Structures are given as C-alpha cells and as structure tokens.
Structure 1
Amino acid sequence: MIQPSDAFVSASILDRQGRVFDDHHPPEDELISDCVHCGFCLSSCPTYQLWGNEVDSPRGRIYLMKAGNEGTIELDDAFVQSFDNCLGCLACTTACPSGVQYDKLITEVRPQIERHHRRRLPDRVWRAMIFALFPHPDRLRVAAVAGAVYQRTLRPVLVRSGVLGRLPKKLQAMEALLPPVRIGDVMARLPERTAATGPVRRRVGIVTGCAQQVFFHDVNQATVRVLAAEGCEVFAPTHQGCCGALSEHVGREDVALDQARRLIDDFEPLGLDAVVTNVAGCGANIKEYGHLLRDDPVYAERAAAFSAKCRDISEVLDELGPVADRHPINARVAYHDACHLAHGQQVRSQPRAALRTIPGLEVCDIPESEICCGSAGTYNLTNPEPAEQLGRRKVANIATTHPDLIATGNAGCLLQVRRYLAERDDAVPLYHPIQLIDFSIRGVQPRLDPPKKVGAQ
C-alpha cells in the first residue's frame, strides 16, 4: 500500500486525538473506505501527471481525508495545499473501477478548509477580489468595459515595453484570459421570452451564467436561437445571478447555497419542462442542488426537483431530435470534452451527436481527452503555474488532430484554450458547439481564421 511521502507525513502527523474536521458534513468514512488504493486514477489526474507526487493524486488526498477524520494529521498549509492543487476535474471518478465518489468527498473537504484554515494574507486578498467580481454580472460588466478600453489603449504599450512579462503570475493570468471585448455584447441582455418556431415542443429556461452572459453573450444568443428553431419556447429571467458553481468549487459553502436558492426562486414560478445550461460547470453544480441543499427544510425538495429538470443544451437537442434544416459546414472540428460535462455530468456522446447533425462537419477526438485544460473554475487564477502547463499540454494535443475549428462546451475552457492557441502559428478558431449548430441552421459559414488578440503586437 502506497503512503504519502515521508517528508509530508513528518511535517503533518501529530501525537493527538480528535478530528481536524467539524461535524457539519465531514468527508464520510463510508465513501473514503470505497477507495481500494488500486491507482487507476493516477493516469487521469492532472496534478499527478504533472508532478508524480502521491499527495497530489486522488488516492493520496483520500489518505489525507482519512487521517483528518482520525485526528492523526494537522490542517496546516501542507494539508491545504494538497487540496488547493486539486482541480476538481473529476476525471478520477470516471477512471475509478470501484465507483469512489471523489466528487462528494472533495465537496465535503473544501468547506472544512475554508472554515478552519486561515490563509496567508496575499492569498486571502486575491481570492476576495476574484469572488467580489466574477460571480456578479453587473460588476463584471463594469470591469469588462474597463478591460476593453485597456485592450485598445494601454495593452499595446505594456506589450512593447515588456512590463506584462514582469507582472506577478496571477495578474498575468487574469490579463491574458481577458477575451476580446465588444461593448455591445457586454451590455446586451437576452429577451425574457422567445417564441418557438412552429409548434411548441418544450418550455425551457436558460441559465445565462455570470461570466458567460458578459463575455459570451453570443453563445447565449446562439443557444436561444437554436432552441427556438427546434420548437422550444425559451425563458431567460432577467435578474438571475450566479448559480454558485464558482463558490461551491472552492468551498465557499454558505455563499454557494444562497446563490442556489436565489436561482431556484428565479426559475421555479415559470413552470418549465427543463432548465438549460450551456456552461459545463454551471450544469454540474445545478444537477447537485438536491444534494447541496439536503439540510434545508424549505429548499431540499424544491432543489431536488430543480436539479432533475437541469439539462445541458446538448442533452436537450439529443432528446428532442432535430427538426430545423441544417446547411453544410465543410470543416474538421476537434471536440474538447469539458471536464464538468464529461466527468461531472457524464455527458459525452450528446455534444458529438449534435455536431454530427451538421452536414459536412467532421468531428474528431483529442488525445488525452480526460486530462483537464487547467481552467477548472477559478483554478487558472489561483494556481496559474500548473494551469499554464496543462493549458499548453491541451493545446499541443489539439494541434495533433490538425483541425479547422475547435469546439468545447464550457466558458472557462473557451478562455483557457484560447489563451494558449493565440501563441501558436497553427491557431484555429474556437467555438461553443451550439454556435456551430446555429451557424448551420442559419446558413452562415464560421470564420476559419482565428481573431487576433486585441492589443497584440
């Protein structure tokens, strides 16, 4: 049986009794005991692939959870770093032959860390800034407008002077991930109701997201157009906010649950057949509302019902079957599996099937498809170095397929992959799959040349 490294153990094991976790949903012993330490997870774990350290593998982290329950380890910086290094990509859950529910275990550990570990001041400040901005669309719009001005004025100067390369890694990551911004898209809103084309086959609501509705309004527009063309009456509550995925992913439990309650309140009165997401992370989180709100006597049943209605856009299209005519797009597209779609929601065949309804479109898979691109919610902002390694690795694997286009169903993946594509001579355009379907239905050809980064020299 492999144990965590001697150095790690000697730094953390204590001669005391008592768990380091409190009684509010600690990692369950029953779930921990499901792990038989076979190691099948190691080949799919991004951090183990990068560093080869047992403590940076799912198996190693489960050892730490067990030690935490037994009171044989301290919740110190070394313990916390192991869990901060985890992307939460859930590839290990797909690889595990024993059905270990690592997703539930990591969801139970991270709030414990946030409640009982005081981070160092720079980390606290950086995380506070991220969560004061990204889950709030109106604040993000103001920041995006400022970003657009920066891209067109100050960025070229900083590039020429070399100042950008001297910024701290975290600031470099945030700057590089900012996509080309169009003010019109940043300020735009979806209509509250969009009528179906022809007979109504389904009444659906669309979760517009936080960063999604600011930076990828075009994806939301395409989603509504395709749903309407396929016979859906589409509702988009105007004041909906973040679904809580970003906060839940890092253990900010109280905030995440409040955001979940508000989203349920926004959609529940509409009496919808389905709640549609086009962001993998949002969909994975909403599908767990029933579990996350299980202790809430007011919301537990309502959350479970809401989760049951949640569908990724590709699932809805697969369930409905196409009725709108498609026009050809003669191109080769590399499809990148977003982790929280493939592993979190177990949705793999539906996006590919939806793309293959487009005449002339060849869909190809990417080597090492199970390895995360390094986006992982806010991971590429809090852990920029490993995120950069994973981003470059993903883009290099994509390049081996020699595509004309790339498609992926998650906002974070779109930003992360776009960042490292822009550095290459063989860069190609990047789209959400629903955009390609929208192009096909409307008879519009996608661009086959990648847009230049605004302000690049």
Structure 2
Amino acid sequence: MTERTVPTTEQPRRQPPDRKPVDLGIPTARGDRSEVLARPAFDDHRPPSPELLDDCVHCGFCLTTCPTYQLWGEEMDSPRGRIDLMRAASEGAPLTSSMVDHWDACLGCMACVTACPSGVQYDRLIESTRAQVERRVERPPADAGLRALIFSLFPHPRRLRLLRGPLRLAQRTGALGLVQRTGLVGRVSPQLEVMQSLAPPLGPRVEVPERTPAVGTRRAVVGMLTGCVQREFFGDVNAATARVLAAEGCDVIAPRRQGCCGALSVHVGREEEGAAFARRLIDTFEDAGVDTVVVNSAGCGSSMKDYVHLLSDDPDYADRARAFSAKVRDLSEILVELGPVAPRRPVAEDGEEVVVAYHDACHLRHAQGVVSQPRALLNGIPGVRLVEIPDAEICCGSAGVYNILNPEPARELGDRKAANILRTGARLLVTANPGCLMQISQAMERAGQPVPFVHTATLLDASLRGEQLV
C-alpha cells in the first residue's frame, strides 16, 4: 500500500502578487492592520461548537483539496487556518476584519470534509460562523447593496420570471452582447458584470406540469423540486427530469406553490431567511403527500438534506425537518435505487462512441457523498465512454453566489477547471448543478474551445427518447 504523504505549509503554492482580499471596505490584516468589528466575536446563538473545533488535529490533508489554499498558499485561507480563527474567536478574541476576510474567501465547497481523516465537520463550522458574521457585521454600503440585490432576486422565481423576458430580448437583439463589449458594467462593478455574463442563452420558458403520470407500472410517487434559477433559466432541465422519472415508473408531483429551498441564503449565513424558506418548503411537500422528494440541483439537495440541523431547535419543525430530510434524494440516487426499466439508446450520430466528461458538483460529491450513482447512470447509456476530469475534487468557482461576490478567484478557478476538462478530449460535458453549468460554460468560452455542456437529466432524457446530442 502506498503511504500517504501529509501536506504541510513548508512549500505553499505561489501567492499571486496582485491577489486582492475580499473587499469589506475596511482595513484588513493582510498587512498589519485589522479593525475590531465586534466584542465578543460571537453571540450565544449557535456559535461554532468547541467539540467540533477540537476535532481538527492540523494534519494538513485538507490543504491539497482547498481551492483558496491552492490559489494563494496562505495558511489562514485553508480550512485548518480558518478553524484556528474560529477557535480564537470562541475563546474570547474580538471579531476582526481579517477574520471576516478569510471566512468570506471560503467557497464552502466541502472538499476538505471529504479529505479529512479525522472527520472534521467543517461544513457545520463555517455555516455557524457565517451566520454569526451576518448578524454581527455591518457591511459597507456597496457590499451590502450587492447582497441585498442578490437575495431580493435569486430566491424568488416570480421576480426572476419578470427579469427573464427583458434578458431574453436583450440576448436575441444583440443588445446584451453590445453592453458586455463596452465594458461599462465592469467599470462600475465587477460583480454586476459577472451577473450579466453568467446568464445562459434563453429560449421559450418551459413549465413542468404539476403532475406527470408514470409510464407503465407505477413504482413510486415522488415530489420534485423545481427550484428558482433552475425553474426560470433551466426549465428544459426540469422537464427532462420529470420525463426521466416518469419513464422509470414514477408519478411526479411538482407543486406549483413551492418556493426557494433556502440553499443560497444558508450558504452565506442568512440563517433566519434560509430557515423561513425551509419551513415553507416542508409545508408544501407535506401537503403533496409524496414518499420521496427528488432534487436535480446539487446545492439545493445538500441544503434540503440538512434541514434536520437547520431547524433542530425549532419546536414546531424539528421532527418534521428530520422526516423531510430523510425523504430527499438526488435524481441520480433515486434512479439507481429504483433500477432502470426504460431502454437506453445512443446519443451520438450513427450510434458512434462519444467521450463524456462528468463534472462533480461540490455539493453533490462532497456535501452529499453522491459520486458513484451519476457515473453508473452515464455508463448505462450505449456508446458513452466516461472519462474523469483531472483534479476533479477542486471547485470550479461557482459555489452558490461566490462567483458574483468574489469574481477574481472564481474566474481563476473556472479557468483551471476548463483547462483540466480540455485535457480529457471529451466531446460532451455533464454536471448536476446549474451554477456549475453556467460557471464552466463561461470559462470554456474564454478558453476559445466551447464544448456542449448539459445536465445529467438532459443526457438521460435524450437517451430514453433516442435523440442525438452530439
């Protein structure tokens, strides 16, 4: 057996000389200044658990999988370094701008959770820490305004629908491309420029029926999350998901009144907002009377499986959240559990072999531990030869709204991911998360070598229907 080498910080990766810290609008401790923002650092509501903090033994296995440590080689931008800051804050150190800077720089990809041999629950630690920051730090106007814009829009499907029409018109007339080429938006705000550029090409809006009956013998009754960005910008993926489930013997219930799952809110520390979304979603699917709730967005599924912790101290919802979380399945999980009954067909012309690269969304691979199931489904399609992407465990830089809040490191991570994908020689890319799809598609465009990129459900649906994708 090959002995594992423990990474150390003796030879860190090169830190780019122009690397900029997250802009809080206040002095940071990248140099020798750090403004005190709160004393004590944490309040009494769910501070990072001392027991969980003590699980970290500083072995260093997390370093090779941490995107920000790989970018900058800085100890405080590694999981164990951020845990040290949490421990200092928990033991009485004041909350400073440098602490917030380092925690904000984390993508929350959870690759460190997968890599850690000690079972450190970094996901719990960073989530509780970010909730503390959001309660106790008054962000500067520009940052606060951007966050307000994001969370007044993205978790609200009806508002996204209102935006969708003008955005599609701007794409079709070329107005959006013209604005992008001027660079005016980027000069005003790099973050807004990223929001503008991430939008996928929009076709006619696709709505999933509230009920899609099973084809043939009914094997299960499942609820389906339609999501927010997924519903309004990737409606074709939802439609494909419903068709695939129906073809495999599922009655699919997609309640019209369902809303946001709260994933984006929880991810950045907006705990109460995320909990409110979670309660409403639990109510909706309880009323639907389904056995399983199927999710086709990795970030959403991760959050929904974690309602049991998010609502653990809510006397009215703790037990209901536990039961709900136990019902949540990623699309690939439920399909593998049921086993295939519908015949698969090739997706390439004349049935020729097509090389497919599967990109693991972080919140599917690391947060949910769903790795083998998508690969099993793809390998079951005739003519597909699945190849692995080098450094697959490293995040693409999307990470919820991270690529909007932190465009420079996100862009570098996206470009690294694109370069690794191109090394595979794949003719088709597949993933299970809309954020990854948008982020990597943009990076592939920058590389000048765009490759068709689809959701897992889209590829499965094409195979079941005998349609060609390449």
With normalisation by structure 2, the TM-score equals 0.90
Mapped to 1, the partners of 2:29 and 2:214 lie a distance apart of 62
1:13 deviates by: 9.8
Which residue in the other structure is 2:285 paired with? Answer: 267
Mapped to 1, the partners of 2:244 and 2:270 lie a distance apart of 35
1:146 deviates by: 1.5
Which residue in the other structure is 1:300 paired with? Answer: 318
Mapped to 2, the partners of 1:12 and 1:422 lie a distance apart of 39
Mapped to 1, the partners of 2:96 and 2:266 lie a distance apart of 21
How do 1:31-70 and structure 2 match up within 5 A?
31-70=52-91
- Code of the aligned partner of 1:205: G
1:328 deviates by: 1.5
Change (3 A) 1:162 1:335: same
Is this contact kept in 2: 1:18–1:70, CA < 8 A? no
Mapped to 2, the partners of 1:91 and 1:372 lie a distance apart of 8
- Code of the aligned partner of 1:350: Q
Gaps of 5+ in 1: 449-457
**SS state at 2:222 partner:** strand
Mapped to 1, the partners of 2:330 and 2:88 lie a distance apart of 37
- Code of the aligned partner of 1:340: H
Give CA-to-partner distance per residue, 1:48-88, whole Å, 9 cap, x none: 1001111111000000000001112x322211111110000
1:168 deviates by: 2.6
How do 1:333-352 and structure 2 match up within 5 A?
333-352=356-375
- Code of the aligned partner of 1:119: R
Give CA-to-partner distance per residue, 1:20-49, whole Å, 9 cap, x none: 111111000000000000111011000010
Is this contact kept in 2: 1:377–1:412, CA < 8 A? yes
The aligned length equals 439
Which residue in the other structure is 2:101 paired with? Answer: 81
**SS state at 1:431 partner:** strand
Which residue in the other structure is 1:118 paired with? Answer: 138
How do 1:327-338 and structure 2 match up within 5 A?
327-329=345-347, 330-338=353-361
Which residue in the other structure is 1:410 paired with? Answer: 433
Q: Give 1:222's match in structure 2, choosing from 240, 246, 258.
A: 240
Is this contact kept in 1: 2:220–2:251, CA < 8 A? yes
Mapped to 2, the partners of 1:332 and 1:306 lie a distance apart of 38
- 2:118 paired with 1:94: no
- 2:289 paired with 1:281: no
- 2:153 paired with 1:130: no
Mapped to 2, the partners of 1:257 and 1:106 lie a distance apart of 17
Mapped to 2, the partners of 1:270 and 1:107 lie a distance apart of 30
C-alpha root-mean-square deviation of aligned residues, in Å?
1.9
- Code of the aligned partner of 2:213: A
Mapped to 2, the partners of 1:441 and 1:49 lie a distance apart of 41
Is this contact kept in 2: 1:137–1:241, CA < 8 A? yes
Change (3 A) 1:321 1:38: same
Q: Give 2:44's match in structure 1, choosing from 7, 18, 23.
A: 23
Mapped to 2, the partners of 1:137 and 1:45 lie a distance apart of 33
Change (3 A) 1:159 1:13: closer
1:2 deviates by: 7.6
- Code of the aligned partner of 1:242: C
Gaps of 5+ in 2: 1-7, 11-27, 348-352
Which residue in the other structure is 2:165 paired with? Answer: 145
Mapped to 1, the partners of 2:184 and 2:140 lie a distance apart of 27
% identity of equivalent residues: 56
1:145 deviates by: 1.3
Q: Give 2:198's match in structure 1, choosing from 164, 173, 177.
A: 177
- Code of the aligned partner of 1:204: V
How do 1:415-430 and structure 2 match up within 5 A?
415-430=438-453
Give CA-to-partner distance per residue, 1:216-253, whole Å, 9 cap, x none: 10110010000000000000000111100000000001
**SS state at 2:325 partner:** helix
With normalisation by structure 1, the TM-score equals 0.93
Give CA-to-partner distance per residue, 1:63-121, whole Å, 9 cap, x none: 0000001112x322211111110000000000101000000001110110001111111
